[in-house]
Amino acid sequence: MSEYQKVRHEFPPVYDEHSRILILGSFPSVKSREQQFFYGHPQNRFWKVIAALTGEEVPTDIETKKHLLLAHHIAVWDVIAQCDIIGSSDSSIRNVIPTDLQCILHTAQIERIYANGGTAKKLFDRFQKKSCGREITGLPSTSPANAAFSLERLVEAWKCIL
């Protein structure tokens, strides 16, 4: 049986002063923590969805992923800075310390905030909504755990970000 680990988010958000859309995940998966970048699990459809929406090639390395996001005014960060978690299981998350979104909100003119999945939305509403004074729109998770959504359904659901 797996055990809880206290884990800290160790890589920075992606954003610049031109970012207009902020996409928040819950907390990086084991694969993302190993790669030190967002949505690192090969079965996660995040990069395929963003590429489909922007008409770009699916990025394969961190620099190309950053460039894709920034070129389309998209910022990416997570709701949780530190938590206790078993592996990559969002449902196991406890003892949450939220990230500070003010660094992004004070630098960029964020027009809309989206949650990648229900856990990210729930955690934002619980830990950050009041301090941010902002609403978040929940989108279906791009995680491989969300098998109910095909890539096509995800792309359709995520069209609202553009």
- Tokens representing residue 105 in the block: 């909100």
Does the annotation count 95 as an active-site position? no
- Residue 39, sorted as left (phi over 0), alpha (psi -120 to 50) or beta, turns out to be left
**Residue 4 neighbours by CB under 8 Å, 6+ apart:** 84, 85, 86, 92, 94
CA distance 117 to 26: 8
Catalytic pick among 44, 95, 116, 146: 44
The answer to whether the Cα torsion of 155, 156, 161, 162 is positive or negative is: positive
Residue type at position 125: D
Q: d(Cα 104, Cα 160) in Å, to the nearest integer?
A: 21
CB 121 within 8 A of CB 25: no
Q: Which residues are catalytic?
A: 44
